[in-house]
Amino acid sequence: MPTTPENQKPSTENSATVLPTDDATAVDPKPLMQWLRRAEFMTSAPKLSLCPPDTGFEIAFAGRSNAGKSSAINAITAQRQLARASKTPGRTQMINFFTLQNTDQRLVDLPGYGYAAVPEAMKLVWQKELEKYLIQRKSLAGLVLLMDIRHPLKHFDQMMLQWAKSRNLFVHVLLTKADKLNRGPANTVLLDVKKQLNADGLDFSIQLFSAMRRQGLEDLAIVMADRLHFGRMPEVSPEDVTVETVADHKPNMMKDYRLDEM
Ligand SMILES: Nc1nc2c(ncn2[C@@H]2O[C@H](COP(=O)(O)OP(=O)(O)OP(=O)(O)O)[C@@H](O)[C@H]2O)c(=O)[nH]1
Ligand SMILES: [Mg+2]
The answer, yes or no, to whether any atom of ligand 1 lies below 6 A from the CB of 177, is: yes
Across the range 227-238, mean pLDDT stands at 78
Smallest Cα–Cα separation from 43: which of 31, 35, 52, 34? 52
Residue 164 has φ and ψ, to the nearest 5°, of: -60, -40
Closest listed ligand to the CA of 112: 1
Of the two residues 217 and 120, the one the predictor is more confident about is 217
Q: Is 158 exposed, middle or buried (0-12, 13-18, 19+ CB in 10 A)?
A: middle
Taking the C-alpha atoms of residue 121 and residue 256, their distance in angstroms, rounded to an integer, is 17
The answer, yes or no, to whether any atom of ligand 1 lies below 6 A from the CB of 176, is: yes
Angle (CA) 253-129-251 rounded to 5° is 15
Q: Please tell me the pTM assigned to this model.
A: 0.84
CA distances (Å), origin 196, targets 8, 122, 192, 201: 26, 33, 6, 9
Whole-number pLDDT of residue 15: 40
Beta strands 102-109 and 95-100 are antiparallel
Cα(150) to ligand 2 centroid in Å equals: 18
Q: Work out which ligand 1 atom sits closest to the CA atom of 67.
A: 19
Q: Which residues surround ligand 2, an ion (CB under 5 A)?
A: 69-70, 91-92
- pLDDT exceeds 70 at position 205: yes
Whole-number pLDDT of residue 234: 74
Pick from 86, 113, 160 the residue to mutate for probing ligand 1's pocket: most ligand atoms within 8 Å of its CB: 86
Average model confidence (pLDDT) for the chain?
A: 82
Amino acid at 114: G
Q: How far is C-alpha 175 from the geometric centre of its chain's CA atoms?
A: 13
Residues of the chain above pLDDT 70, percent: 76
The answer, yes or no, to whether any atom of ligand 1 lies below 6 A from the CB of 112, is: yes
Cα(89) to ligand 1 centroid in Å equals: 9
DSSP symbols for 4-73: ---SPPPP------BSS-HHHHHS--HHHHHHHHT-EEEEEESSGGGSPPS-SEEEEEEEBTTSSHHHHH
Taking the C-alpha atoms of residue 87 and residue 68, their distance in angstroms, rounded to an integer, is 10
Taking the C-alpha atoms of residue 4 and residue 113, their distance in angstroms, rounded to an integer, is 19
- pLDDT exceeds 50 at position 73: yes
Smallest Cα–Cα separation from 90: which of 64, 72, 108? 64
In this structure, which topology does domain 30-249 adopt according to CATH? Rossmann fold (3.40.50)
Whole-number pLDDT of residue 258: 34
Closest listed ligand to the CA of 66: 1
- pLDDT exceeds 60 at position 12: no
The answer, yes or no, to whether any atom of ligand 1 lies below 6 A from the CB of 34, is: no
Cα(36) to ligand 1 centroid in Å equals: 20
Query: Which DSSP helix (H) or strand (E) runs through 199?
Result: helix 183-199
- pLDDT exceeds 80 at position 136: yes
Cα(131) to ligand 2 centroid in Å equals: 17
Sketch the domain layout of the chain as residue ranges: 30-249
SS3 113: strand
The answer, yes or no, to whether any atom of ligand 1 lies below 6 A from the CB of 64, is: no
Cα(10) to ligand 1 centroid in Å equals: 31
Cα(122) to ligand 1 centroid in Å equals: 22
Taking the C-alpha atoms of residue 141 and residue 136, their distance in angstroms, rounded to an integer, is 12
The answer, yes or no, to whether any atom of ligand 1 lies below 6 A from the CB of 74, is: no
Indicate if the alpha-carbon torsion angle 13, 14, 16, 19 is positive or negative.
positive
The answer, yes or no, to whether any atom of ligand 1 lies below 6 A from the CB of 37, is: no
Cα(26) to ligand 2 centroid in Å equals: 32
Whole-number pLDDT of residue 252: 33
